[in-house]
């Protein structure tokens, strides 16, 4: 099968979209399929030479070293670039829309090269043109971004900031409209399915649940753990990820126990997270580790005595599964799909409650027996439920179903025209 996989940004080591692209494509190729990834910046890391990466560059307006930049005049190539820049300058986030328009233009020239197109949560208006090219379309929605929008609005301070957030998340209305019209949707949990139905008004009969996997070559137990080490993988400045809750909890525990926390993320310079670290006087008790490679990440996760996923919402949470695959005792929020993902292999706490999180940290810190029990339960759950090969095999079956449905609809339309 010849697969075109669309992903408007595919950051390799954080953010579920880039991780999903990397592991799914590897397993699809190992199953004998041909895969070509179409991605905007940041581009993915791919694990097989046979996987083709076709770059569909944006203006890269949100690059880490120069966010919200003004491109030079010579960087503008066409009307889509102008649209992207104008959208950004008026406070919106244009990438899902503009990537979908660019991808449709590329696919129009290459419609005969693929059997199926798989959209990795782009949900831009350009996607509605893909079936008209004669290409079956399957769409992955890891969770509806409407949830992020709600949490960001709740965290916003003052009318101006709320207005800015509403404008930034204006693309969510487009994604909801597209989601209702694209046909088969894959999502990662029952929780995400419920939210997609509720927020995007997608027919539940169009949604199939397919959990994600974990790469146990990278994430596995590795030996002695560093006493008092707590590790979390989360976007530091995004309220939805709850890093502020974790820092407040660690500050409480650190007054009476020798603990420190490493957050796998790079916070904004002098942003809300850095300011909170100073306010809590955490000093050397907290470290941020951004842009690290696979081997270093695997070693870091396996070095922790305790892992924490403090999110206020998760549609699935690959970090939770990666912590469990590392055999690290896990504390996770009772939020979104997290209870569904971790089962009885983690301690669950109320999202946003730093007191309850601090109590759980104290309890695990003081109990090697409880940590050992959680570690064994986590490893058993990963073995039973989360394998990328199984995810890829199930995804292929959804591709085949989409191809059959597309052929049926084309034949039915042709028969109506002959009447």
Averaged pLDDT of the chain? 95
Q: What is the mean pLDDT of residues 5-33?
A: 90
Residue 208 and residue 238 in contact, taking contact as beta carbons nearer than 8 Å: no
DSSP states of 39-108 as a string? E-SSPPP-S-TTSEEEE-----TT-TTSTT----GGG--SHHHHHHHHHHHTT---HHHHHHHHHHHHHH
- pLDDT for position 381: 95
Please measure the distance between the N-terminal and C-terminal CA atoms of the chain and give it in whole angstroms.
Answer: 34
- Contact of 319 with 243, CB cutoff 8 Å: no
CA separation, residue 51 to residues 27, 135, 215, 313 (Å): 11, 20, 18, 33
**Is the pLDDT score of 14 beyond 80?**
no
Residues 6+ apart with CB under 8 A from 298: 218, 219, 220, 222, 326
| H-helix segments, 212-271 | 243-253
pLDDT at position 13, please? 62
- Of the pLDDT bands very low, low, confident and very high (cuts 50, 70, 90), residue 412 is confident
Query: Per the structure block, which two tokens stand in for 47?
Result: 């694990």
Which residue would you say has higher pLDDT here, 346 or 16? 346
pLDDT-derived band of residue 290, with 50, 70 and 90 as boundaries? confident
Cβ-based neighbours of 296, under 8 Å, separated by 6 or more: none
Contact between residue 224 and residue 201 where contact means Cβ atoms under 8 Å apart: no
Contact residues for 110 (Cβ-Cβ < 8 A; gap 6+): none
| Cα 38 to Cα 33: distance, rounded to the nearest angstrom | 16
Sign of the Cα pseudo-torsion (227, 363, 315, 3, in order): positive
Distance CA 6, CA 123 (A): 10
Mean pLDDT of 59-72: 93
Give the global pTM: 0.87
Among residues 290, 312, 309, 310, which one has the least CA distance to residue 300?
A: 290
pLDDT at 65: 85
CA 150 – CA 137 distance, rounded (Å) = 29
What residue ranges define each of the domains in the chain, with the CATH number in brackets? 2-213+388-418 (3.40.50.2000), 229-385 (3.40.50.2000)
Residue 406 in this model has a pLDDT that exceeds 80: yes
List Cβ neighbours of 295 (8 Å cut-off, separation of 6 or more): 218
Return the structure tokens found at 97. Answer: 């829309």
pLDDT band with cut points at 50, 70 and 90 for residue 118: very high
Is 101 a residue whose pLDDT tops 70?
yes
**pLDDT for the residue numbered 5:** 98
pLDDT tens digits along 124-177? 999 999 999 999 999 999 999 999 999 999 989 899 999 999 999 999 999 999
**Mean pLDDT (whole number) for 360-371:** 98
DSSP H or E run through 332: strand 330-333
The confidence band for 214, taking pLDDT boundaries of 50, 70 and 90, is: very high
Average pLDDT for residues 238-243, to the nearest whole number? Answer: 94
Predicted confidence (pLDDT) at residue 16 exceeds the cutoff of 80? no
Burial of 339 (0-12, 13-18, 19+ CB in 10 A): middle
Confidence class for position 58, pLDDT limits 50, 70, 90: very high
Distance of CA 211 to the CA centre of its chain: 13
pLDDT digits (tens, 9 = 90+) for 74-98: 999 999 999 999 999 999 999 999 9
Residue 409 reports pLDDT greater than 90: no
With a cut of 90, say whether residue 20 has pLDDT above it: yes
The per-residue pLDDT for range 171-205, each reduced to its tens digit, is 999 999 999 999 999 999 999 999 999 999 999 99
| Closest C-alpha to 144, from 219, 201, 100 | 201
Q: Is residue 15's pLDDT more than 80?
A: no
Ranges of beta strands (E only) in 104-195 are 116-120, 137-140, 185-187
Calpha distance 228→243 (Å, rounded): 18
pLDDT at residue 413 greater than cutoff 90: no
d(CA 269, CA 226): 28
């Amino acid at each position: 099968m010849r697969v075109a996989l669309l992903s408007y940004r595919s950051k390799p080591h954080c953010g579920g979209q880039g991780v999903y692209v990397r592991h799914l494509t590897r397993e699809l190729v190992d199953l004998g399929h041909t895969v070509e990834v179409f991605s905007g910046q940041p581009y993915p890391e791919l694990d097989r030479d046979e996987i083709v990466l076709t770059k569909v560059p944006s203006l890269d307006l949100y690059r880490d070293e120069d966010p919200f930049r003004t491109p030079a005049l010579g960087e503008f190539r066409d009307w889509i670039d102008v649209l992207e820049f104008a959208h950004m300058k008026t406070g919106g986030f244009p990438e899902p829309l503009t990537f979908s328009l660019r991808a449709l233009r590329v696919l129009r020239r290459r419609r005969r090269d693929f059997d199926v197109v798989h959209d990795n949560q782009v949900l831009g208006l350009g996607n509605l043109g893909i079936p008209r090219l004669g290409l079956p379309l399957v769409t992955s929605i890891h969770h509806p971004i409407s949830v992020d929008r709600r949490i960001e609005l709740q965290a916003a301070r003052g009318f101006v900031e709320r207005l800015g957030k509403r404008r930034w998340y204006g693309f969510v209305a487009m994604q909801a409209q597209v989601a209702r019209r694209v046909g088969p949707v894959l999502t990662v949990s029952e929780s995400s399915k419920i939210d997609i139905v509720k927020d995007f008004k997608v027919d539940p009969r169009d949604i199939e649940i397919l959990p994600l996997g974990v790469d146990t070559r990278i994430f596995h137990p590795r030996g002695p753990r560093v006493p008092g080490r707590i590790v979390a993988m989360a976007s530091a400045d995004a309220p939805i990820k709850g890093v502020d809750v974790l820092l407040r909890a660690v500050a409480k525990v650190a007054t009476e126990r020798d603990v420190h926390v490493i957050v796998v993320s790079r916070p904004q310079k002098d942003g809300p997270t850095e300011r909170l670290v100073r306010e809590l006087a955490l000093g050397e008790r907290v470290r941020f580790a951004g842009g690290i490679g696979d081997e270093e990440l695997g070693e870091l996760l396996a070095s922790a005595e305790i892992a924490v996923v403090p999110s206020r919402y998760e549609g699935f949470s690959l970090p939770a599964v990666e912590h469990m695959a590392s055999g690290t005792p896990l504390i996770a929020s009772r939020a979104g799909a997290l209870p569904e993902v971790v089962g009885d292999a983690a301690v669950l706490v109320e999202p946003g409650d730093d007191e309850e999180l601090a109590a759980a940290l104290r309890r695990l810190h003081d109990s090697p027996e409880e940590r050992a029990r959680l570690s064994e339960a986590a490893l058993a759950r990963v073995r039973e439920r989360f394998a990328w090969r199984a995810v890829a095999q199930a995804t292929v079956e959804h591709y085949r179903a989409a191809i059959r449905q597309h052929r049926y609809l084309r034949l039915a339309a042709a028969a109506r025209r002959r009447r």
